[in-house]
């Protein structure tokens, strides 16, 4: 057939399909093994067909019918079958390539002879129907042709062959629902009692139907049928959606794709009393209503399945393979059964043990022996199982790290079966051992580059592609044990332009930094300490022309804004070393894999989507790609085709890579909290990854301990997220790290390290609070705190009070005593300020003869310049000396002033930023105080930002950071990050520094932080997680830091009693429902969406429970509380405007009634709460009685209203 006629013929074929959308729902064009599906064609194309069809007068069309009794060749462009055609015995019908055979009705080609229909890949032979109207209705014969039907065909020396043929819209039905006849079998091909060998090679059978058996093919009493390199898809029948066999012998199905076929029994195949050899087939997304989503074998014998991929099929039982009553053993070798679903026996159902299964990969089913149950890591899969998902859209070959590669039966070959290649044409064995499944994958040498020491470098010459104006650089890194200070990953800075990526730090974990130069300036972003020795981490840095972003393991960790031109560098790119001083001590040291450079800033989603995959090299915007997969040599090839190949230095080598490429490892546990108790250490964490099957807990005695079998403490199955470690020695520090392991045994990187030891929780701690006496009963003083903006408002329980109010001061002191607080540290900014007046004239008169102690918090902000630098020079020293002299003269000799070893304690705010001559200055100040009889005990605010310096702390006697605000935890729940794990390591560092200098540490805890109301924008929620109690942050803080309290001094600080502007207060509030809504324009500017509630006394109760011995420190007289029944507490009593009531035991107050002295009921209310506040302003002064009812009892107490 001429090329012209061939093109015209195909065009007319397509136009007919497009012109009748009611008749044709899909067209599939096969090229190699890919399927292209087109839908929803327009009827208007029919007019185009009418115009073009007269132009093909040269295209030959013939009509055929009746019997063929002599050897015949159909060589016409179109053969129209206008009636049944009968091919007589021993007669050969040859069909030329490119012939289009169009049945004009429900006619059949009945064969007793031989057919030779041999097309080519470019010129296929097509068997189809003229009009598909009614095709899907089996109660009519309309819409389909009746197939090619071999019946009692005798043996012949010439075989029937179909090669490069397409069979579509074959329809096996007689139109009568009530009878089962042969016309109901075999939608496209029917073979019955045939001894002739029939071969189908490189054919497509699609959209065929049979009422009863074999949607595509029926084989009954057939011998020597060979089906290879075929696609059998979208067919349907009652039995065997693709192929049905009965009493069939020597059936071979090789290297075929069989997908989206449907049936009641045997979605793809039903074999009854037949044998069969299935090799290298992909059977996917077939579906049965009942048994055998892919294959149903009933009383079969010697069915052999070798190297098949049976995936994502669906049935009621035996989603992959259903075998019942087999007469002879079946043999399954090197198959994959994965993703199939059924109500029971999703992968394989067998009623007897006469199936031998070996070296198969079977999901969620254990067959022992050499079979495995491990994710095959297909390149791409369908979104689900069954015929609703198009199997043609998947790629069932393997990713590079698939467990199926080289995992088949040793010494097993298919050569004896005449099969030497896999389903895609690859040699069936590419390495020493055959792969499992239908695909054989070329072994992929997963290598990395190792930089060993000085001289470990890859030098890449300059090219314009590697100096873009916008950029993304990314790679996987695994740092070795060598330590210095700086470790360059890559450097391309020259002519004051370019980029640099490096690690930094003198001990593990290390931080990462991305540095840009250009336009006469520079910019940088960095992480906190995230990189451990011996673990793979992914780093990506981007710049879009104005914004730098840094990602670690796919998570954004830092951003910075700067406009600069980084494209001017003509320097070479150094990988693994510093450009300015190659072979210096600034080399990387470790392994690197998958280095990529893009000419645009990739998004976080784009980075995470591809960071675990290899690339092709031709992705848009990829200008340099070095997977380092070379086996040997001194060249690292750029896989983009841009020619940016690198030359290895003498100390750089290719080594096998263990980077997580080809799979996604589980995320490490987060939110690790370890807290020592009297005889054990409790661990709590949060599982980040749903795919985790277990958590491995490792424990060491030093912070640099290795995670191995000897340090594995315990294994905890998910979903558990707690563990108690009872095997501990009193006073010994224990270090903990966790690793998550998924069901495929992939490990996460380790969690952050946390440390703890046992602590006596029964003995009372010496607890202090920071106190702020700066409030006035004026709107301006009580405006800018977050709880003034919440809806509803959550003011102090005492209202917007005035600090210069004896009753307010007395109530504060009473509450402190009741709840086990031992001393307050009062903010002091100078003798001319209100804080000094309140302390001297209001607090001291009330604290005298009280067990409470007090100290002064020296506000060093008064010494700061406009840039918040505190540089101690002669002038500042003089100011310090004057201030401390005043404090000594005014407060140090007071009997209630806090002392440590007869030394007055002075807390110094912001001491951690002192600079200049501060050490000598304080030495002189100490001498001056000694002359006055005061040996100062200085407590410094060091390490508030997680940085402790032994050298800087030498001028103080104890360390107590006012508040620890690590950057990594800002703006999120503590349990979502590593706040508390990092906190323990900081606390240990603080203890090590103080102990090395003969000093001690005073840990500091706080209930949360929110400075949005004063414009600072720092938020630490008061809950550790969205579901947690409102006090959970403080409770966890205390439990985690109690083991770090000095065993002798046992001092701990709380920030704060009443710093309302930063919302660190524990002072009681009015009680309100929880809310995240504020009165800002957005409704959440102040709260940032976190929960705030009027919490009443809940924080004081936490302090009392965790830091007090549980015994009240004050008498009834001093407390103003009637404790005749310790089940409840009422205060203040006498009451002025309000009365607080709460249950001290595990009780719920159901209701209360208030009576006057005559017995008249004045007030009653149902509450169902543990605590609440009664407004008494409407009651006349006098004596009242309150009856408090619980579900089981009641008490009556006397109350005085003033």
Determine contact, residues 269/287, Cβ cutoff 8 Å: no
Grade residue 1145 by pLDDT with cuts at 50, 70 and 90: low
Grade residue 984 by pLDDT with cuts at 50, 70 and 90: very high
Grade residue 969 by pLDDT with cuts at 50, 70 and 90: low
pLDDT for the residue 527: 87
Q: Please write the tens of the pLDDT for every residue from 869-915.
A: 999 999 999 999 999 999 999 999 999 999 999 999 999 999 999 99
Grade residue 853 by pLDDT with cuts at 50, 70 and 90: very high
CA 42 to chain centre: 44
> Which helix (DSSP H) or strand (DSSP E) does residue 1161 occupy?
strand 1161-1169
pLDDT for the residue 426: 84
Q: Please tell me the distance from the alpha carbon of residue 1058 to that of residue 1068, in angstroms, as a whole number.
A: 9
Grade residue 55 by pLDDT with cuts at 50, 70 and 90: very low
Residue range 541-563: mean pLDDT, rounded:
95
Q: Please tell me the distance from the alpha carbon of residue 305 to that of residue 286, in angstroms, as a whole number.
A: 17
At 1136, is the secondary structure helix, strand, or coil? coil
Beta strands in 141-216 (DSSP E): 148-151, 160-163, 165-168, 171-172, 189-194, 198-201, 204-206, 209-210
Has residue 963 got a pLDDT over 50? yes
Determine contact, residues 1134/1140, Cβ cutoff 8 Å: no
H helix runs in 618-658, sequence order: none
Determine contact, residues 571/495, Cβ cutoff 8 Å: yes
Q: Please tell me the distance from the alpha carbon of residue 414 to that of residue 694, in angstroms, as a whole number.
A: 40
Residue range 16-38: mean pLDDT, rounded:
33
Going by DSSP bridges, is the β-strand pair 336-338/361-362 parallel, antiparallel, or unpaired? Answer: parallel
Has residue 58 got a pLDDT over 60? no
- Residue 698 vs residue 44, higher pLDDT: 698
Distances (CA, A) of 464 to 324, 468, 489, 599, 900: 67, 7, 20, 11, 67
CA 207 to chain centre: 41
Grade residue 1109 by pLDDT with cuts at 50, 70 and 90: low
The pLDDT > 90 percentage for the chain reads 63
Has residue 26 got a pLDDT over 50? no
pLDDT for the residue 22: 37
Has residue 404 got a pLDDT over 80? yes
Query: The whole model's pTM is what?
Result: 0.61
pLDDT for the residue 1169: 80
Q: Please tell me the distance from the alpha carbon of residue 754 to that of residue 974, in angstroms, as a whole number.
A: 14
- Least reliable range by pLDDT among 472-481, 495-504, 1135-1144: 1135-1144
Q: Which residues neighbour 648 within 8 Å (Cβ) at sequence distance 6 or greater?
A: 449, 457, 458, 633, 634, 635, 636
- Least reliable range by pLDDT among 215-219, 379-383, 539-543: 379-383
Has residue 50 got a pLDDT over 80? no
CA atoms lying within 13 Å on the CB side of residue 1022: 21
Q: Which residues neighbour 757 within 8 Å (Cβ) at sequence distance 6 or greater?
A: 676, 681, 728, 730, 731, 732, 733, 734, 1043
Q: Which residues neighbour 1151 within 8 Å (Cβ) at sequence distance 6 or greater?
A: 1164, 1165, 1166, 1167, 1189
Q: Please write the tens of the pLDDT for every residue from 790-810.
A: 999 999 999 999 999 999 999
Looking at the chain, how many residues does it have?
Answer: 1202
Residue with tokens 């998924």: 742
Q: Please write the tens of the pLDDT for every residue from 584-625.
A: 568 899 999 999 999 999 999 999 999 999 888 889 999 999
The pLDDT > 70 percentage for the chain reads 91
pLDDT for the residue 446: 78
Grade residue 355 by pLDDT with cuts at 50, 70 and 90: confident
- Least reliable range by pLDDT among 79-83, 541-545, 1135-1139: 1135-1139
pLDDT for the residue 40: 35
The region that residue 880 occupies, defined by phi over 0 for left and psi between -120 and 50 for alpha, beta otherwise, is alpha
Determine contact, residues 399/405, Cβ cutoff 8 Å: no
- Least reliable range by pLDDT among 224-238, 390-404, 500-514: 390-404
At 783, is the secondary structure helix, strand, or coil? coil
Residue range 541-545: mean pLDDT, rounded:
97
Q: Please write the tens of the pLDDT for every residue from 429-477.
A: 877 789 999 999 865 567 899 998 777 899 999 999 999 999 999 999 9
Domains observed in the chain? 283-295+315-444 (no CATH), 447-656 (2.60.120.200), 670-756 (2.60.40.10), 766-1107 (3.20.20.80), 1120-1201 (2.60.40.3080)
Determine contact, residues 1056/1066, Cβ cutoff 8 Å: yes
- Least reliable range by pLDDT among 365-374, 817-826, 1141-1150: 1141-1150
Grade residue 583 by pLDDT with cuts at 50, 70 and 90: very low
Q: Please write the tens of the pLDDT for every residue from 638-690.
A: 988 899 999 999 999 999 898 999 888 999 999 999 999 999 999 999 987 77
Average pLDDT, the chain: 87
Q: Please tell me the distance from the alpha carbon of residue 1034 to that of residue 1037, in angstroms, as a whole number.
A: 5
Instruction: Tell me phi and psi for residue 382, to 5 degrees.
Output: -75, 160
- Least reliable range by pLDDT among 590-604, 751-765, 955-969: 955-969
Q: Please write the tens of the pLDDT for every residue from 295-313.
A: 999 887 889 999 999 999 9
Q: Please tell me the distance from the alpha carbon of residue 988 to that of residue 742, in angstroms, as a whole number.
A: 32
Q: Please tell me the distance from the alpha carbon of residue 966 to that of residue 986, in angstroms, as a whole number.
A: 10
DSSP string of 16-33? HHHH-TTT-S-EEEEETT
Residue with tokens 């048994």: 291
CA 1154 to chain centre: 56
pLDDT for the residue 46: 41
Q: Please tell me the distance from the alpha carbon of residue 1175 to that of residue 517, in angstroms, as a whole number.
A: 65
H helix runs in 621-712, sequence order: none
pLDDT for the residue 42: 36
pLDDT for the residue 1192: 81
Grade residue 1007 by pLDDT with cuts at 50, 70 and 90: very high
For the chain, report the end-to-end CA distance as a whole number of angstroms. Answer: 114
- Residue 471 vs residue 1180, higher pLDDT: 471
Grade residue 532 by pLDDT with cuts at 50, 70 and 90: confident
Determine contact, residues 173/211, Cβ cutoff 8 Å: yes
Grade residue 1160 by pLDDT with cuts at 50, 70 and 90: confident
Q: Please write the tens of the pLDDT for every residue from 189-240.
A: 999 887 678 999 999 999 999 999 999 999 998 888 999 999 999 999 999 9
Grade residue 1110 by pLDDT with cuts at 50, 70 and 90: very low
User: What DSSP state is assigned to residue 213?
Assistant: B
Q: Please tell me the distance from the alpha carbon of residue 652 to that of residue 405, in angstroms, as a whole number.
A: 29
């Amino acid at each position: 057939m001429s090329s012209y006629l061939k093109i015209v013929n195909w065009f007319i074929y397509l136009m007919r399909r497009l012109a009748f959308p009611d008749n044709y729902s899909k067209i599939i064009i096969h090229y190699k093994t890919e399927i292209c599906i087109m839908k929803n064609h327009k009827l208007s194309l029919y007019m185009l067909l009418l115009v073009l069809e007269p132009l093909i007068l040269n295209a030959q069309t013939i009509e055929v019918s009746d019997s063929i009794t002599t050897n015949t060749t159909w060589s016409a462009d179109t053969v129209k079958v206008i009636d049944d055609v009968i091919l007589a015995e021993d007669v050969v019908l040859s069909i030329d390539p490119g012939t289009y055979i169009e049945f004009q009705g429900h006619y059949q080609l009945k064969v007793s002879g031989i057919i030779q229909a041999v097309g080519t890949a470019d010129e296929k032979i097509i068997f189809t129907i003229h009009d598909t109207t009614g095709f899907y209705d089996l109660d009519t014969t309309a819409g389909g042709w009746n197939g090619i039907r071999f019946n009692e065909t005798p043996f012949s020396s010439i075989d029937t062959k179909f090669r490069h043929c397409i069979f579509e819209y074959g329809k096996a039905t007689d139109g009568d629902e009530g009878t089962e006849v042969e016309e109901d079998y075999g939608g496209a091909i029917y073979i019955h009692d045939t001894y002739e060998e029939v071969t189908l090679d490189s054919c497509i059978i699609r959209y065929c139907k049979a009422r009863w058996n074999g949607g595509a093919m029926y084989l009954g009493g057939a011998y020597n049928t060979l089906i290879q390199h075929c696609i059998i898809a979208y067919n349907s029948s009652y039995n065997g959606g693709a192929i049905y066999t009965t009493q069939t012998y020597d059936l071979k199905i090789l290297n075929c794709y069989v997908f989206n076929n449907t049936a009641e029994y045997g979605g793809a195949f039903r074999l009854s009393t037949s044998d069969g050899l299935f090799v290298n087939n992909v059977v996917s997304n077939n579906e049965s209503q009942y048994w055998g989503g892919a294959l149903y074998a009933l009383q079969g014998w010697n069915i052999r399945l070798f190297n098949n991929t049976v995936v994502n099929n669906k049935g009621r039982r035996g989603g992959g393979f259903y075998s019942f009553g087999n007469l002879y053993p079946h043999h399954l070798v090197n198959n994959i059964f994965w993703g199939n679903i059924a109500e029971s026996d999703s992968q394989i159902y067998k009623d007897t043990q006469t199936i031998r299964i070996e070296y198969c990969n079977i999901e969620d089913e254990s067959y022992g022996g050499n079979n495995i149950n491990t994710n095959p890591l297909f390149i791409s899969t369908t979104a689900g199982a069954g015929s609703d998902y198009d199997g043609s859209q998947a790629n069932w070959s393997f990713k590079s790290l698939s467990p199926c590669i080289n995992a088949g039966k040793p010494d097993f070959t298919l050569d004896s079966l005449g099969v030497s290649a896999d389903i895609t044409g690859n040699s069936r064995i590419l390495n020493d051992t055959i792969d499992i499944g239908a695909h054989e994958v070329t072994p992929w040498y997963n290598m990395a580059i190792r930089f060993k020491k000085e001289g470990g470098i890859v030098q890449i010459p300059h090219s314009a592609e590697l100096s873009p104006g916008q950029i993304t650089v990314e790679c996987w890194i695994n740092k070795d044990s060598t330590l210095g200070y700086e470790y360059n990953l890559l450097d391309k800075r020259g002519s004051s332009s370019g980029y640099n990526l490096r690690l930094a730090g003198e001990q593990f974990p290390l931080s990462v930094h991305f540095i840009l130069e250009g336009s006469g300036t520079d910019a940088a972003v960095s992480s906190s300490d995230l990189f451990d020795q011996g673990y793979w981490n992914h780093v990506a840095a981007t710049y879009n022309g104005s914004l730098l972003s840094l990602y670690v393991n796919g998570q954004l960790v830092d951003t910075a804004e700067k406009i600069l031109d980084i494209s001017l560098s003509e320097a070479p790119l150094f990988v693994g070393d510093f450009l300015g001083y190659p072979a210096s001590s600034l080399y990387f040291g470790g392994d690197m894999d998958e280095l990529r450079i893009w000419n645009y800033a990739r998004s976080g989603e784009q980075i995470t989507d591809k960071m675990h995959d290899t690339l092709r090299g031709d992705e848009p915007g990829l200008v340099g790609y070095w997977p380092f997969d070379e086996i040997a040599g001194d060249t690292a090839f750029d896989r983009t085709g841009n020619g940016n190949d690198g030359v290895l230095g003498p100390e750089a080598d290719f080594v096998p890579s263990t980077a997580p490429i080809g799979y996604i490892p589980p995320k490490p546990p987060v939110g690790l909290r370890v807290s020592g108790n009297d005889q054990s250490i409790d661990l709590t964490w949060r599982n980040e990854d749903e795919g985790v099957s277990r958590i491995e807990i490792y424990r060491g005695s030093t912070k640099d301990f290795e995670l191995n079998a000897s340090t594995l403490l315990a294994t905890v199955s998910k979903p558990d997220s707690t563990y108690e470690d009872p095997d501990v020695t009193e006073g010994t520090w224990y270090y903990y790290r966790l690793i998550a392991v998924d069901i495929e045994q992939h490990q996460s990187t380790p969690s952050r390290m946390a440390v703890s030891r046992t602590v006596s929780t029964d003995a009372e701690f010496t607890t202090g609070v920071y106190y702020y006496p700066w409030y006035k009963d004026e709107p301006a003083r009580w405006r800018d705190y977050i709880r003034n903006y919440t809806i509803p408002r959550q003011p102090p329980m005492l209202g917007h009070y005035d600090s210069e109010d004896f009753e307010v001061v007395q109530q504060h002191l009473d509450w402190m005593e009741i709840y086990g607080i031992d001393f307050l540290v009062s903010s002091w900014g100078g003798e001319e300020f209100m804080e000094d007046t309140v302390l001297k004239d209001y607090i001291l008169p009330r604290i005298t003869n009280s067990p409470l102690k007090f100290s002064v918090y020296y506000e060093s902000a008064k010494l700061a310049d406009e840039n918040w630098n505190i540089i101690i020079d002669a002038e500042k020293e003089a100011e310090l000396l004057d201030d401390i002299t005043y404090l000594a003269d005014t407060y140090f000799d007071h009997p209630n002033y806090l002392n440590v070893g007869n030394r007055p304690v002075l807390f110094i705010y912001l001491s951690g930023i002192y600079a200049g001559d501060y050490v000598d200055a304080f030495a002189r100040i100490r001498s001056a105080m000694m002359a006055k009889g005061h040996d100062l005990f200085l407590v410094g605010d060091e390490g508030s930002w997680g940085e402790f310096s032994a050298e800087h702390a030498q001028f103080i006697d104890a360390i107590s950071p006012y508040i620890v605000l690590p950057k990594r935890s800002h703006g999120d729940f503590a349990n979502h990050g590593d706040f508390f794990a990092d906190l323990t390591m900081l606390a240990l560092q603080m203890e090590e520094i103080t102990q090395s200098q003969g000093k001690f540490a005073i840990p500091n805890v706080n209930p949360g932080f929110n400075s949005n109301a004063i414009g600072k924008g720092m938020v630490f929620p008061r809950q550790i997680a969205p579901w947690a109690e409102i006090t959970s942050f403080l409770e966890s803080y205390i439990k985690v830091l109690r083991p770090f309290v000095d065993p002798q001094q046992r001092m701990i600080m709380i920030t704060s009693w009443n710093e309302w502007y930063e919302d660190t207060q524990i002072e009681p509030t009015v009680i309100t429902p929880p809310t995240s809504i504020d009165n800002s324009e957005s409704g959440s500017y102040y709260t940032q969406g976190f929960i705030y509630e009027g919490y009443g006394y809940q924080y004081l109760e936490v302090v009392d429970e965790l830091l007090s011995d549980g015994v009240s420190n004050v008498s009834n007289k001093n407390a103003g509380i009637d404790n005749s029944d310790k089940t409840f507490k009422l205060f203040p009593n006498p009451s002025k405007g309000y009365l607080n009531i709460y249950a001290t035991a595990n009780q719920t107050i159901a209701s209360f009634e208030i009576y006057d002295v005559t017995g008249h009921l004045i007030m009653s209310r149902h509450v169902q709460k543990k605590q609440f506040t009664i407004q008494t302003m409407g009651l006349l002064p006098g004596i009242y009685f309150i009856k408090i009812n619980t579900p089981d009892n009641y008490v009556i107490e006397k109350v005085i209203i003033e």
